[in-house]
Amino acid sequence: MVRMAIVVFTLFYALCCFAPCLAFEFDDCGSTLGKFTEVVISECSTSDEKCNFVRGTNATMSINFKPNKDISHIVARVYGILNILPVPFPLSQPDVCKDPNAGLKCPLHKDQEYHYMTMMSIKKNFPSVNVKIKWEFVNENNEKIVCIEFPAKVT
């Protein structure tokens, strides 16, 4: 009986490991004035090993988040971390409150859920690399409203 249980257990883990071991998560890298509840990126599934960005395409990203304070100023900062070196990713409009396509109406109110949208151009001249992406929203005092980190590859 015990042996049977061990065999079943081992099989279960062996089978299970294929999918979950390859999956990734959107990690919280220190959100303090809020937290994110959902992140969706086009062509990117968390059941994959990494988020795949294809050069020459536009990726859309949406973030649902909830501030725990009223917020009137939001700067988006995106880095690609190569080894340990963070390389800033240029955003067309880092001032989120001034971005008409972001879908946010500032000031944001405490404990309400907001839905942010953006589009990133994955330029043809980007290097083809594995990179860790760090996506931050900070306020005027550089405090993190939301910080999201996830593994990606550019192909």
Q: Interface with ligand NAG includes 93 (CB under 6 A)?
A: no
- How far apart are CB 7 and ligand NAG at their closest, in Å? 51
Ranked by CB distance to ligand NAG, the top (closest) residue is 58
Three-state secondary structure call for residue 107: coil
- How far apart are CB 57 and ligand NAG at their closest, in Å? 5
CB closer to ligand NAG out of 37 and 121: 121
Q: Among residues 124, 126, 146, which one has the least CA distance to residue 134? A: 146
Q: Around Cβ 98, how many Cβ atoms within 10 Å?
A: 11
- How far apart are CB 92 and ligand NAG at their closest, in Å? 8
CB closer to ligand NAG out of 72 and 121: 121
Within residues 39-68, the interface with ligand NAG by CB under 6 A covers: 57-58
Amino acid at 87: V
Q: For residue 107, is the peptide bond before it cis, meaning its omega torsion is within 30 degrees of 0?
A: yes
Taking residues 101 to 130 in sequence order and writing x for each that binds ligand NAG by CB under 6 A, - otherwise, the string is --------------------x---------
- How far apart are CB 56 and ligand NAG at their closest, in Å? 6
Q: For residue 100, is the peptide bond before it cis, meaning its omega torsion is within 30 degrees of 0?
A: no
Q: Among residues 70, 47, 44, 57, which one has the least CA distance to residue 135? A: 44
The footprint of ligand NAG on this chain (CB under 6 A) covers a number of residues equal to 3
- How far apart are CB 44 and ligand NAG at their closest, in Å? 16
Four-residue CA torsion sign, 65, 29, 152, 96: positive
Three-state secondary structure call for residue 4: helix
Tell the residue number behind the tokens 């059941």, with chain if given.
47
Binding site for ligand NAG (CB under 6 A): 57-58, 121
